[in-house]
Amino acid sequence: MELRDLYRDVILDHNRHPRNFGTLASATASAEGHNPLCGDRLTVSVRLEGDRVQDIRFEGKGCAISTASASLMTEAVKGKPRAEVEQLYQAVHALLTQQDATATPALGKLAALSGVREFPVRVKCASLCWHTLHAALERGSGTVTTELPDDTPSSLAQQLDGAL
Amino acid sequence: MAARAPALSPAPSYDAERVRRDFPILARSVHGKPLVYLDSAASSQRPLCVVRAVEDYELNSHANVHRGVHLLSQEATNAYEGARDRVKRFLNARSSREIVFVRGTTEGINLVAQSYARPRLGPGDEILITALEHHANIVPWQMVRDQTGCSLVVAPINQRGELIYEEFVKRLSARTRLVAFAHVSNALGTVLPVAEMITAAHERGAPVLIDGAQAVPHQQIDVRALGCDFYTFSGHKLYGPTGIGVLYGREELLGAMPPWQGGGDMILTVSFEKSTWNELPWKFEAGTPNMSGAVGLAAAIDYVERLGLPAIGAHEQRLLEEATAQLARIPGVTLIGTAAHKAAVLSFTLEGVHPHDLGTILDSEGVAVRTGHHCAMPVMEFFGVPATARASFGCYSTREDVRALVSALHKAREVFG
């Protein structure tokens, strides 16, 4: 296990200087995400114009992985149509949980998250923002937690299920 | 009740390296580094003698207990009841009828909540707890509150993580029907002034339950000297197996309580119209018990009493002092829980490094600490932190462990800048 794979420069940078951090006055949808196991909390606010994520912000307190992931996410989805956002959501999810998944060019800087896969306990930190965004887009509001079975790499499904 | 020796002499006869060798798991490596296990407060490791005792029972003496006429059943019964007697002596209880085997501290508290509190309490009655409790000593009482309409009152703590004693006493009222608190806080390490608290509660006619999970590994417990009404602890925090714990209850109280769970072993007779209950303590032990767990717990008790709990406690206090001093020197470290009287638990935050990230970096250096809310969310809330990192010492912890912790913290500082 290489710590450098997890805490890559991109991750450390986005943790220290999170992009699109704050609230969105003109938000049309928002959702809250919470990882009760480690205390990560964030709120994702979006302004949808037609089908496009015109603007997006996130706010909250969490570990470096959750913060960096959220920051990278907001950069990646801003200006994109919902269908593309959904594709990115699936691609990131695969990157985080599937042993053989490789980062496609479409992921851009999100590829930095591939290191999280080697640290299964931290996968939920990286995916929290995406689940929260998904809730905001699908439902317009709501609260999500990280206790979602499809996030858990199959090899660890039993260990992490209901653990802690 | 002192958890430390009066004077910490610089020439201890406690050989931590020797003790370490009793624990096989401590020889393993983690991510290519030697394991530095600083999570004993979550669960302690087992000495080989405990593993062997369990193995010996499983290989040579196992059968179902209590009603068998055949030899193996008698041997198993003797092993199980012998373990109960060992626990009785360990706690200095008056009688084995006051020792109930449960799965752990959590189950012990739930037993008292459902079997003592729930039948007795109603609207207007109060249960008093403190602000530093583990969820196991909060949620069962909330459930009783929801079931009976009684109230839950919380005695506050100060910024050092100490109970504000006057505020505790103020909250003892004529309506207080039960007082429940931790002997030692798992998140903060605070040792509560249990003797005074018990006296104050009894003056109000309120019985006392003590969550002893974090106290029992660090000091000798004498339930009669304490005078508490209930005391509960877990085997796996005392170098014993998981799945076994003890609820001590004064016979007078246990005798008047309805059973906790129904089934075999807790009855004398059963017909479809009516069943009669078994005597204490079996009234509270439905179903086939955890015999091997009890045997392992007895072996663990033998082990710690051989080392001597005061000696273990004093050794841990030395490490706590050293670790506290060293951590305080690291820029950006804030200690959470700085009570004057603490057990060997060190909760802290490192500025700019979330506890979760800290835990991962420490883990990469082989250092195992716990990060998170430690099942004490109200405590985290009080100190305004989402989580802390917690290092906790055990009988096998060494000065090298402290050094490794400090070094790993410096590494975390390096990674995060």
pLDDT of residue B3: 52
CA distance A43 to A59: 5
pLDDT of residue B5: 47
Q: Does A17 touch chain B (CB under 8 A)?
A: no
Closest chain B C-alpha to A22 CA, distance in angstroms: 19
Structure tokens that stand for B315 in this block: 């050794």
Q: Which CATH architecture has domain A3-160?
A: Alpha-Beta Complex (3.90)
Instruction: Answer whether A65 sits within 8 Å of B31, measured CB to CB.
Output: no
CA distance B219 to B214: 10
- Residue listed under structure tokens 């999570």: B39
Of A39 and A79, more confident: A79
Instruction: Answer whether A12 sits within 8 Å of B31, measured CB to CB.
Output: no
Average pLDDT taken over every residue of chain B? 95
CA distance B230 to B221: 12
User: C-alpha B112: how far from its chain's center?
Assistant: 16
Closest chain B C-alpha to A162 CA, distance in angstroms: 14
The pTM of this model reads 0.90
Residue B188: Cβ-neighbour burial (10 angstroms; 0-12, 13-18, 19+): buried
> pLDDT digit string (tens) for B215-270?
999 999 999 999 999 999 999 999 999 999 999 999 999 999 999 999 888 988 89
Residues of B in contact with A37 (CB under 8 A): 372
Residues of A in contact with B387 (CB under 8 A): 38-39
Q: Does A163 touch chain B (CB under 8 A)?
A: no
Q: Does A38 touch chain B (CB under 8 A)?
A: yes
> pLDDT digit string (tens) for A2-26?
888 899 999 999 999 999 999 999 9
Q: Annotated catalytic sites of B, by residue? A: 375
- Which residues lie below 8 Å from residue B403, measured CB to CB, with a gap of 6+? none
pLDDT of residue B16: 96
pLDDT of residue A143: 78
* Ranges of each domain in chain B: 16-47+308-416, 51-305
Percent of chain B topping pLDDT 90: 91
Residue in B393, B370, B335 with CA at minimum distance from that of residue B161:
B335
Closest chain B C-alpha to A146 CA, distance in angstroms: 15
- In the 8-state DSSP scheme, what is residue A112? G
Domain covering B51-305, topology: Aspartate Aminotransferase; domain 2 (3.40.640)
Structure tokens that stand for B245 in this block: 């714990």
> pLDDT digit string (tens) for B164-221?
999 999 999 999 999 999 999 999 999 999 999 999 999 999 999 999 999 999 999 9
Closest chain B C-alpha to A63 CA, distance in angstroms: 5
> pLDDT digit string (tens) for A88-122?
999 999 999 998 888 888 899 999 999 999 898 89
Instruction: Answer whether A38 sits within 8 Å of B361, measured CB to CB.
Output: no
User: How far is the CA of B214 from the CAs of A100, B95, B224, in angstroms?
Assistant: 43, 24, 19
Angle at B244 between CA B177 and CA B79, to 5 degrees: 120
Superfamily holding B16-47+308-416: Aspartate Aminotransferase, domain 1 (3.90.1150.10)
Structure tokens that stand for B344 in this block: 């060997």
pLDDT of A155 strictly over 70 = no
Tell me the mean pLDDT in the region A114-142: 90
> pLDDT digit string (tens) for B109-121?
999 999 999 999 9
Name the residue of chain A whose CA is nearest to B380's CA: A39
> Nearest by CB to B372, which of A37, A64, A65?
A37
pLDDT of A156 strictly over 50 = no
CA distance A149 to A47: 29
Main-chain dihedrals φ then ψ at residue A153, nearest 5 degrees? -55, 140
Residues of B in contact with A125 (CB under 8 A): 356
pLDDT category at B10 given cuts 50, 70, 90 is low
> pLDDT digit string (tens) for B82-100?
999 999 999 999 999 999 9
> pLDDT digit string (tens) for B96-155?
999 999 999 999 999 999 999 999 999 999 999 999 999 999 999 999 999 999 999 999
Tell me the mean pLDDT in the region B2-22: 72
Residues of B in contact with A118 (CB under 8 A): none
pLDDT category at A151 given cuts 50, 70, 90 is very low
pLDDT category at B318 given cuts 50, 70, 90 is very high
